[in-house]
Amino acid sequence: MEGSMKERKNKARAAWWIFLPLCLLGLLLGASADRVLFADASAEEKPLRLHVLANSDSLFDQQLKLELRDHVVWLLQEDMEGAAHKGEAIQRLEEKLPVLEEACNAYLAGRCKYQARLFIQRDDFPEIDYDGMTFAAGEYDALRIVLGEGAGHNWWCVLFPPLCFVDMAGEFRDTEAVEVMAGYPEYEGQSGFRIEWKLGQLFRQIEE
Higher-scoring residue by pLDDT: 15, 185:
185
Query: Rounded to whole angstroms, how far apart are CA atoms 191 and 197?
Result: 10
- pTM as predicted: 0.73
Which of 145, 130, 206, 123 is closest to 175 using CA atoms? 130
What is the residue-averaged pLDDT of the chain?
78
Domains of the chain, residue spans: 2-37+189-207, 43-176
133 or 104, greater pLDDT = 104
- pLDDT tens-digit profile of 68-116? 999 999 999 999 999 999 999 999 999 999 999 999 999 999 999 999 9
Q: Which of 148, 95, 154 is nearest to 117 (CA)?
A: 148
Nearest CA to 65 out of 75, 76, 47, 51 is that of 51
Q: What is the average per-residue pLDDT within 184-191?
A: 70
**Residue-wise pLDDT tens digits, 29-76:** 343 444 688 888 999 999 999 999 999 999 999 999 999 999 999 999
Q: What is the pLDDT of residue 46?
A: 93
* pLDDT (mean) for 15-36: 47
